[in-house]
Amino acid sequence: MQMTWSRPGLPSPLRPICDLRVLDHFIKEARDAEAAVRVCKEECAIAVSLLVPLTRVDFGVWEKKNMEEQALEVQTGLWLLSKAISSLRASVSNSALASHIDISVQNIASIGQVLRSLSIQDYVPIAGGLDIQETWRVSSASELFQVHINFLRGKVRLLLANAPVCQQGIS
């Protein structure tokens, strides 16, 4: 006897790593964090500007990149965001705000786990290995979380949606 997860006529459930609703949840939590930092003024001030990834996507250029190049760009961006958000966390004492920031750092780590499940390696920074042309600096916590949201909505979503394992069974 064979057990199945779907009834006849219904598509099989998505593999969790390919289910973009998980990413949508992370985006919602990033929006919640951005709303929280938007209302705080002095406590959310950033003493020094933070390096973050560019979020714009030139689809023609993106599609010409192979999966490894796209993955490296996403992993580098996630690494930069994690560093920037962790830096912000070090300067915040408000527990509610700190909770939003902690969740954002945890979500970036979870996205890293999703990428590893797709056989995408973590980004390991090397001296001189960061492409400064693919970065910019933000000077407010609100800007930081806007970049976080846009990066998840753009490059991370594109990478996950087009991962070969997620394309299996799609005609």
Decide if 68 is inside a domain.
yes
Top pLDDT among 169 and 42 is at: 42
Among residues 88, 81, 138, 150, which one has the least CA distance to residue 109?
Answer: 81
What pLDDT is stored for residue 29 in this prediction? 94
Decide if 42 is inside a domain.
yes
Decide if 168 is inside a domain.
no
CA dihedral over 130, 110, 86, 30, signed as positive or negative: positive
Q: Band of the pLDDT at 169, cuts 50, 70, 90?
A: low
Mean pLDDT score across all residues of the chain: 83
What pLDDT is stored for residue 144 in this prediction? 94
Question: How would you label 125-159 residue by residue, b for 16+ Cβ within 10 Å and e otherwise?
Answer: eeeeeeeeeeeeebebbbbbbbbbbbbbbbbbbbb
Decide if 121 is inside a domain.
yes
- CATH no. for residue 73? 1.20.1250.10
3-class DSSP assignment, residue 52:
strand
Average pLDDT over residues 86-91: 88
| Count of Cβ atoms closer than 10 Å to residue 73 Cβ | 21
Tens digits of residue pLDDT in 32-84:
999 988 887 777 778 889 999 999 999 999 999 998 899 989 999 999 999 99
Contact assessment for residue 52 and residue 138, using Cβ atoms and an 8 Å cutoff: yes
* Parent domain of 105: 15-163
What pLDDT is stored for residue 7 in this prediction? 43
Average pLDDT over residues 130-146: 84
Number of domains, the chain: 1
Strand partners, 136: 52
Q: Which of 6-20, 28-42, 96-110 has the highest mean pLDDT?
A: 96-110
Decide if 151 is inside a domain.
yes
Six-digit token string for 88: 């912000």
Decide if 2 is inside a domain.
no
Decide if 3 is inside a domain.
no
What pLDDT is stored for residue 16 in this prediction? 55
| Count of Cβ atoms closer than 10 Å to residue 8 Cβ | 5
What pLDDT is stored for residue 170 in this prediction? 52
What pLDDT is stored for residue 25 in this prediction? 93
Average pLDDT over residues 128-135: 68
What pLDDT is stored for residue 102 in this prediction? 94
Contact assessment for residue 52 and residue 80, using Cβ atoms and an 8 Å cutoff: yes
- Poorest-pLDDT segment among 8-17, 53-62, 82-91: 8-17
By percentage, how much of the chain surpasses pLDDT 90?
Answer: 44
